[in-house]
Amino acid sequence: MVESIAATSLLGHRPVYGGYHSQCISTRRKLFDTCRIPVTEFIGRKVGCGRLTRLGVDQLETPPIKARAMEVTKEAHSNREEEEEERIPQDFRYQIDTAVDRKPGFWPPKNKADDPSLHNPLLRLERMGSGWLAVIFEWEGVLIEDYPDLERQAWQALSQEEGKSRLPAFLLHTIEGMKNEQAISEVLCWSRDPQEVKRMASRKEQIYQALHGGRYIFRYGSWEFLNLLTRYKIPMALVATRPRKFLEKAIRAVGIEGLFTVIVAADDVRRGKPDPEMFLYAAKLLNFIPERCIVFGNSNQTVEAAHDARMKCVAVASKHPMYELGAADLVVRRLDELSVTHLKNLAHTELSEFESAEPELQMEEEDEADRSSIEDVDDDFW
């Protein structure tokens, strides 16, 4: 029996037992002792086995499947390490990708509210906060009572003196809020001579002052709101389309001289509403950027001029209903309905405060694309 076993399974073969690896704490692979059986020798009727010898690593035969698996595993580990190195640099000085074209001087955009000449960092921080703001008041219809009927009567009286036809209602509505010179030369077209235009404008103002009689009455809530702004030391400017001598006389009559930091009258600007020149000039004298100025008016012409100047506008519904002033940023019936918190919310930092030309360029490109598409449609239609 022993001979048959030796003849069929052991004779002439050298079975090799594969090596087994174990992993220790140091992650080094150790090779267990691997033995091989020498050629079987028969001693009598006993099967003899020679001395087991230790095999080296170079003498082992690794199966092809196992070798391939080891290569794939090693390649996967190397790829993962490369991805981690690309994602997190070793020096940790990488920047967040904001998907914005980093042109020289383009990003980050400069905040126009910041003043690098200030050496106190707290003052610079205060300027960039929502508490750094100024207010610009209109005179009639906002702080004091307005008399639009007297204004229309003064224009009708002037037209009668000059031998002109009676002014229709839509023309009187158009010249509302304009300077007298601007209304006479551009809307009514009574004269182009500067001296003649100045004479008629002065005469119209004299007629109005005679009809008015010097009656200046504060609107409800205006005095309380002015005291609130004074207590919080918020700079205030006053703008009006009246000549300076009449405006200063009215200010002394109500007893608020010295309250306003800046006063802009019709003598200081060339054009009135809806042109934003008056508001921009007041902001320049206040040394505030337009985005941090809040205009208080009572007409849609004021809202249009304030928005053209990149300012916020609070409309007071003194002579127009509230629903007609919906274009304003805020509509109130009386000024004492407001608080400093409302003003800070209006002066909150927005993108328009930063010097960046990219949105405007993008809007221009979109407008050109829309215009070209409209032209194509028109050509196809005709």
Q: What is the CATH number of the domain that holds 289?
A: 3.40.50.1000
Edge-to-edge strand list for the sheet holding 134-138: 262-264, 236-239, 134-138, 293-297, 312-316, 330-332
Shared domain check, 253 and 201: no
The reply to whether 195 falls in a domain is yes
pLDDT at residue 309 is higher than 90: yes
* Residue 85: per-residue pLDDT: 61
Residues 191-247 have pLDDT tens digits of: 989 999 999 999 999 999 999 988 899 999 999 999 999 999 999 999 999 999 999
The reply to whether 239 falls in a domain is yes
* Residue 27: per-residue pLDDT: 44
Residues 352-375 have pLDDT tens digits of: 554 544 444 444 545 555 555 544
Task: Residue 235: give the domain boundaries.
Answer: 134-143+216-347
Query: End-to-end distance of the chain based on CA atoms, in angstroms?
Result: 110
The sign of the torsion formed by the CA atoms of 253, 258, 259, 264 equals positive
Shared domain check, 189 and 237: no
Q: Which segment of 81-85, 124-128, 345-349, 357-361 scores lowest on mean pLDDT?
A: 357-361
**Taking a C-beta distance cutoff of 8 angstroms, is the pair 241, 268 a contact?**
no
Shared domain check, 221 and 319: yes
Residues 244-303 have pLDDT tens digits of: 999 999 999 998 988 999 999 999 998 888 899 999 999 999 989 898 999 999 999 999
* Residue 319: per-residue pLDDT: 86
| 171-178 average pLDDT score | 88
* Residue 9: per-residue pLDDT: 46
* Residue 83: per-residue pLDDT: 66
Residues 25-78 have pLDDT tens digits of: 444 444 444 444 444 444 445 445 544 444 444 444 556 777 777 787 777 767
The reply to whether 166 falls in a domain is yes
pTM: 0.63
Shared domain check, 232 and 170: no
> How many independent structural domains does the chain possess?
2
| 131-158 average pLDDT score | 92
The reply to whether 279 falls in a domain is yes
Shared domain check, 336 and 239: yes
Per-residue pLDDT band for 81 (boundaries 50, 70, 90) equals low
* Residue 94: per-residue pLDDT: 46
- E strands along the chain, which residues? 21-23, 29-31, 41-43, 46-48, 110-111, 134-138, 236-239, 262-264, 293-297, 312-316, 330-332, 354-355
Q: Vertex 234, ends 233 and 237: CA angle to 5°?
A: 125
Shared domain check, 183 and 161: yes
| 180-185 average pLDDT score | 92
pLDDT at residue 97 is higher than 60: no
The sign of the torsion formed by the CA atoms of 311, 315, 319, 323 equals positive
